[in-house]
Amino acid sequence: MSPGGSVMQDVQAITELLYRYCMLMDAGDFDGASAMFNKAHVRMPAMQDVPGQVLRDIWHKLIVIYPCGTPRTQHMVFNPIVTVDADRTTASCQSRYLVVQQTDDFPLQMIAAGQYEDRFARDDGGWHFTFRDYSHLKLPGDLSHHLRSGTPHATPRH
């Protein structure tokens, strides 16, 4: 495969994957978000690396969905540092994330901040995730309205 376009277009396409993931998670579209990891392995806290296809089931078990059909969150990705390899078929990215949440009985606040470490590959379908490391939650906030009780990093409801 001979990659067309430029390295800057590659960086933009990879960055758009990061942003699309946030939009899908905030919409409660776990099918769409997990499909982004169909060709990936994922490192989860307190678990061995898992194939990306199982993320949908993990998210359905862990994340609280409200009557509006969403987790009432806003995921934001900041400062992506994308490195495209010389052959332009693989890349890596480090980025920071912030998640805020508000519900009827939970005021708007930061509930999580951390770092993503991602790897990507490009095939005839374009760029896709090949690896994500979810284990870098640096600043956990009150996750009690986001994660079901008994899950890692959940704190008791007030």
Mean pLDDT lowest among 53-57, 67-71, 86-90, 99-103: 53-57
Which are the contacts of 129, defined by CB distance < 8 A and separation ≥ 6?
Answer: 17, 36, 37, 39, 40, 52, 118, 119, 120
Q: Looking at the domain covering 7-140, what would its CATH class be?
A: alpha beta
d(CA 105, CA 113): 22
**Three-state DSSP class for 61?**
helix
* Two tokens, residue 98: 């912030």
Q: Is the pLDDT of residue 147 over 90?
A: yes
pTM of the model: 0.90
Whole-angstrom Cα distance, residue 132 to residue 40? Answer: 7
Which 8-state DSSP code applies to residue 63? B
Average pLDDT over residues 56-68: 95
Domain ranges for the chain, please list them: 7-140
3-state secondary structure of 56: helix
Strand boundaries in 36-136, DSSP class E: 41-43, 50-51, 73-84, 90-103, 106-123, 126-133
- Tokens for 111, please give them: 């509930």
How far apart (Å, rounded) are the C-alpha atoms in residues 51 and 130? 10
**Contact indicator for 32, 23 with CB cutoff of 8 Å:** no
Look at residue 5 and give its three-state secondary structure: coil
CA–CA gap between residue 152 and residue 7 (Å, rounded): 38
Mean pLDDT (whole number) for 62-66:
96
Task: Name which residue leads in pLDDT, 134 or 102.
Answer: 102
Beta bridge pairs of residue 109: 101
Among 149, 150, 153, which Cα is nearest to 137's?
153
Gyration radius of the chain over CA positions: 16
User: Is the pLDDT assigned to residue 112 strictly greater than 60?
Assistant: yes
